[in-house]
Amino acid sequence: MAFSVASSPAAVHGSSLSSSFEQPRAAQFGAFQQFDRPHLPPAAVGFSRRRCTVKALNAEPKRNDSIIPSAATLFAPEVVEKVEVEDYEKLAEELQNASPLEIMDKALEMFGNDIAIAFSGAEDVALIEYAHLTGRPFRVFSLDTGRLNPETYKCFDEVEKRYGIRIEYMFPDAAEVQALVRSKGLFSFYEDGHQECCRVRKVRPLRRALKGLRAWITGQRKDQSPGTRSEIPVVQVDPVFEGLDGGIGSLVKWNPVANMKSNDIWNFLRAMDVPVNSLHAQGYVSIGCEPCTRPVLPGQHEREGRWWWEDAKAKECGLHKGNIKEENLNGNGNGAVHANGSTIAPDLFTTQNVITLSRPGIENLLKLKDRKESWLVVLYAPWCQFCQAMEGSYVELAEKLAGSGVKVAKFKADEEEKAFAQQVLQLGSFPTILFFPKHSSPPIKYPSEKRDVDSLMAFVNALQ
């Protein structure tokens, strides 16, 4: 149901209303009851500590290709307000323990028509359900890359019918897609990385969409990617994209489910009987474009179903690249740290049953002509979410193999050791698991991506 915008002749600057505009109405964004609660004016913020002027809620967009409709632009009150970035840092602290419903309600209250939910057709349909439960009007947009699964398009249709909304689709520029495909083929990302294709099909359309907004709502969660999303606040100034007022710092990013676990999301979806992508029932967890998405296997992290052929250090398509931080290794080798020295990736497999191998140690293991025992060694990086995901399985395996004649070890193969590991130890991506048989045979690389205890044990037993 559309909602009315109150009007009066005094509200019109420089012109009078014709008879056809006696009862102007805003655009329809969701099937909801009459909306008569006043909005607070949205606050566009400056990056760092600078200040900026805040436009009124219904101020006209700067771009014709934004997803903001041009309706209801005649009644913008002359509101001038100044806000600092620290306001959103404080708000994030205040909402840290708030429920997703409360966070969603606050976001919609603050930004009204200038905020929209980013929907990918995966489990972030929970965002739409939370928005629906607030009773406020809301908007939803999605990026149609042209390469989504049929099941995803069907999910879009089901969601539209369930909530009585129209998803605002953003498409890539046809000329850019044509140039990319003609010059590099349909599957160049398998050879040179996914960033270029994502930039054309996702990032640039998203940038156009966000230029018409002052805030957006995402389904990011801290547990989705320990390497890049572990510090996501529930609300933040977007560090990458620009909003309606232009400039870095002009867009606010809301993450209402940041503190929820995957199980919590799914319990909520089942309880509310929400339509979900049928690919989830086939083992897909994180769902993107069809060529770049696959089901996850036992012992794998959910993001390992995306761009699986690449190094796992920064698996973001570009939509949330602000999550990726510069990392260094601290002096005692316990993990990656921020520039301010705070540890974000402690060492893995820290148990007495897993032996830590140094560079000389693994070189000696390679050279041994008569090994007395077999060795199982994982090549890992502490920041890698896929290594983090298999930690429990590997530690449990080490406990089961204790005293069996098979030594279980680890070798940190990132940073300065990565080139050596690639050239000598068959490292392709993290984690790589090697079995060193008794005697002098060369190491045998574990060929499967199933990293549960039973699969790893079967591998070891087959080579004993």
Q: How far apart are CA 204 and CA 219, in angstroms?
A: 19
Q: How far apart are CA 205 and CA 171, in angstroms?
A: 6
Q: How far apart are CA 218 and CA 124, in angstroms?
A: 8
Three-state secondary structure readout of 40-57:
CCCCCCCCCCCCCECCCC
Q: How far apart are CA 381 and CA 346, in angstroms?
A: 10
Asked if residues 427 and 413 have their Cβ atoms less than 8 Å apart, the reply is yes
The single residue of 52, 155, 289, 387 carrying the catalytic annotation is 387
Q: Which stretch of DSSP H or E encloses residue 237? A: strand 235-237
What length does the chain have? 464
Beta bridge partners of 445: 434
Identify each DSSP E strand in 298-412 by its residue range: 328-329, 335-337, 343-346, 355-356, 374-380, 406-412
Rounded to whole angstroms, what are the CA distances from 211 to 167, 244, 393? 17, 5, 45
Instruction: Tell me the DSSP string of 303-316.
Output: GGGBSTTS-STT--
Bond into 431 cis (ω within 30): yes
Asked if residues 348 and 410 have their Cβ atoms less than 8 Å apart, the reply is yes
Beta bridge partners of 25: 4
Q: Is 384 a catalytic residue?
A: yes
User: What is the Rg, in whole angstroms, of the alpha carbon atoms belonging to the chain?
Assistant: 26
Helices (H), 167-310: 174-184, 189-192, 195-198, 204-210, 262-271
Asked if residues 244 and 59 have their Cβ atoms less than 8 Å apart, the reply is yes
The single residue of 52, 155, 197, 384 carrying the catalytic annotation is 384
3-state secondary structure of 5: coil
Q: Is 198 a catalytic residue?
A: no
Q: How far apart are CA 152 and CA 282, in angstroms?
A: 13
Residues with catalytic roles: 384, 387
